[in-house]
Amino acid sequence: MIKSLDVETGEYWFHQDGSTTQTLAPEGQQRKLLYRFIQNWTVMIDGGAWVGGWARHWSWKFKKVIAIEIDPLNYECLVKNINGFTNITAINACLADRMNETRGFEGDKELKSCIRRTMPDGSVPTLTIDSLELPECGFIKLDLQGYDYFALKGAAETISRCKPVVMFEHDPSCYERYGVGRNDPADWLKSLGMTYKDCLRKDPIWGWNGS
């Protein structure tokens, strides 16, 4: 089981003994910064949803939130945490740039998130954001421990058509695991017509000219 956290507020995740504790929702400054850029409040993609803190918070703003998590243990907590939130859909999958494959993961029990590395061999199905065929999308948030680039490539059609705000985890040390260059995610979004807007801690926020 995952190493336990102190009680804070919000959602649940597993102690080593199988019980649960609470963890934090997004901080106020994080929310205020994103409010500056998000204009379309229809659908949010929460990629790397962990146990649902962001999904639960943003469900009050978006008509629909799709929370995607690779780790079955985190996913179990996610499902527990969104009980009663009728506009959140949870999916146990690995966001990637292609369908009909499987992935695994390697964890670190000393860290609050047990996902540190996506592995080529495993039993979790891959999923592209484009395969969801969303009619609308206002925000894509990715926290995939360096696998974000592949999820962005699998969202090219959705991004070009729906023009959502995109925020992803920028950690070049994690990119190296997958042969991804430091600027590859940014270059990919630029090729789709997006522009850099701001940064939330180490996570860049991308949007569109005129927004």
Q: What is the pLDDT of residues 79-109, one digit of tens each?
A: 888 889 999 999 999 999 999 888 876 665 4
Q: What percent of the chain has pLDDT over 90?
A: 56
Q: Which long-range contacts (CB under 8 A, 24 or more apart) does 158-161 make?
A: 158/129, 158/130, 158/132, 158/134, 159/189, 159/192, 159/194, 160/192, 160/193
Q: At residue 8, does pLDDT exceed 60?
A: no
Q: At residue 9, does pLDDT exceed 80?
A: no
Q: What is the pLDDT of residues 157-207, one digit of tens each?
A: 999 999 999 999 998 888 888 899 999 999 999 999 999 999 988 899 999
